[in-house]
Structure 1
Amino acid sequence: MRLVQYREAGGVRAGIAHDSATIEPLAIDGGTYALAQAAMVEGGMGAAVERRRTGISVDYQAIIDAGQLLAPVMHPDPAHCLVSGTGLTHFGSADTRDSMHQAIDEHASDSMKMFQHGVRDGKPAPGAVGFQPEWFYKGNGSCIVAPGAPLGFPDFARDGGEEPELVGLYIVGKDGTPARIGFAIGNEYSDHVTERFNYLWLAHSKLRDCSFGPELLIGEVPADIRGVSSILRDGAKIWGKPFATGEANMSHSIANLEHHHFKYAGFRRPGDVHVHFMGTSVLSCADGVALDPGDVMRISAEGFGRPLENPLGARKIVKVALAVL
Structure 2
Amino acid sequence: MSTIVSEYEYRGRRYVSLGITAPGEPQSLHPVAEGRLLAALLSPDAPAAVAALTAETEPVTVTAGDPALQALPPLLPTTGPSLVSGFLGTHKSKADAIVGHDGQPPLPKWFFKGLGSWLRLPGQPLVVPAEPVILVEEPEVVLVFVNDEAGAPRYLGYTFGNDLCDIGLHRIDPGYTPSGKLCDTGLATHLFLGEPPRSATGRTVIERDGQPVWEGKFDCGADALFFQVSDLVDRLFSFPALRRPGLVNYVLTGADRSSFHDGFRIADGDRIVIDVASHGAVLANTVRFGGGASAF
Q: Is there any run of 5+ residues in structure 2 with no aligned partner, and where?
A: none
Q: Distance in 1 between matches of 2:141 and 2:63?
A: 23
Query: Which of 285, 292, 295 in structure 2 is aligned with 1:318?
Result: 292
- The letter of the residue matching 1:39 is L
Give 1:321 shift: 1.3
Give the Cα separation in 2 of the matches to 1:86 and 1:112: 12
- 1:71 maps to 73
CA contact (8 A) 1:114 1:133 kept: no
Instruction: Give the 3-state SS of the residue equivalent to 2:170 in structure 1.
Output: helix
- Percent identity between matched residues is 26
Partners in 1 of 2:257 and 2:100 — Cα distance? 18
Matched, 1:25 2:33: no
- 1:304 is displaced (CA, Å) by 2.8
**73 and 318 in structure 1: CA distance in 2 versus 1, 3 angstrom threshold:** farther
Instruction: Name the aligned partner's letter for residue 153 of structure 1.
Output: V
> Cα–Cα, structure 1 residues 153 and 208, in superposed 2: closer, same or farther, change >3 Å?
closer
- Alignment match, 2:176: 201
**1:302-317 to 2 correspondences below 5 Å:** 302-313=277-288, 315-317=289-291
Q: CA deviation at 1:300?
A: 1.5
* Residue 14 (1) aligns with residue 16 (2): yes
Secondary structure in 1 matching 2:14: strand
Unaligned runs of 5+ in 1: 96-110, 122-130
Of 9, 31, 38 in structure 2, the residue corresponding to residue 36 of structure 1 is 38
The AA in structure 2 aligned to 1:68 is Q
What corresponds to 1:91 in structure 2? 92
Q: Which has the higher helix share?
A: 1
2:281 is paired with a residue whose SS is coil
Query: Equivalent of 1:62, from 49, 54, 65?
Result: 65
Whether the aligned pair in 2 keeps the contact of 1:87 and 1:133 (CA below 8 Å) is yes
Task: Tell me the TM-score normalised to structure 2 length.
Answer: 0.88
Which of 147, 172, 187 pairs up with 2:162?
A: 187
Q: What's the CA shift string for 1:38-91, capped at 9, x where partnerless?
A: 432x3243133112124636357435x66622323312137x111111011112
More strand by share: 2
The within-5 A match list for 1:213-252 is: 213-252=188-227
- RMSD between superposed Cα atoms in Å: 2.5
Q: How many pairs does the alignment contain?
A: 289
Q: Structure 2: how far apart are the matches of 1:67 and 1:9?
A: 7
- 2:48 is aligned to 47
Q: Could you state the TM-score of these two structures normalised by the residue count of structure 1?
A: 0.80
